[in-house]
Amino acid sequence: MSFKDKINEALEEAIRASLEEKKKMDPVGKADADIDNDGDVDDSDEYLHNRRKAIKKAMAKEDLDDFDDFIDSLDEEQLDEISAKLARKAAAVSQQKAFDMSNYASDKDSNKEADRLQNKADKAMAHVQKRQGDKGAEKTGRLANKAIFGRSRG
């Protein structure tokens, strides 16, 4: 037997052994308490659970810290502009939801929900109009038309 044959045989044997011993992971969405999949729930599973929880918490805090640093770096004028854009976007989304619901309303409850959404959209638009004037209302209208019809109209 040549050296190459011995290597191939050893590789095949190693692959067969690993396939026989291979442990199945939990199906997606069906995780259980046996985190390390060793067949029992013990201290190692508790440790892994706590470790994952701590890592998730640290990552969330890091994201918040980064966002806080970003907000702190903005001056008052930049914050006002961001606030104005968010108000216009919120009003446009409210108008889109009201439009969609009114087109698909087929019964009393649906019509009631469509009216509620339209009232909410009207309040959001009134807020933009009061804070930003006609120019802000026009921008909001263009955003809403783009969201509803796929392109800006008017």
pLDDT in tens, 37-60: 777 888 888 888 888 888 777 776
What is the pLDDT at residue 64? 61
Average pLDDT over residues 60-87: 73
Q: Please tell me the distance from the alpha carbon of residue 83 to that of residue 76, in angstroms, as a whole number.
A: 10
Q: What is the pLDDT of residues 82-112, one digit of tens each?
A: 788 888 888 888 888 888 888 877 888 888 8
Extract the tokens encoding 98. 């009201």
The reported pLDDT for the residue numbered 22 is: 54
Q: What share of the chain is helix, strand, coil (3-state, %, to 5)?
A: 80, 0, 20
Contacts of 154 (CB under 8 A, 6+ apart): 141, 142, 145
What integer pLDDT is reported at residue 26 of this predicted model? Answer: 62
Taking residue 96's Cβ as centre, other Cβ atoms within 10 Å add up to 19
Over residues 69-91, the mean pLDDT reads 78
One-letter amino acid of 113: E
CA distance 87 to 120: 13
The larger pLDDT score, comparing residue 133 to residue 9, is at: 133
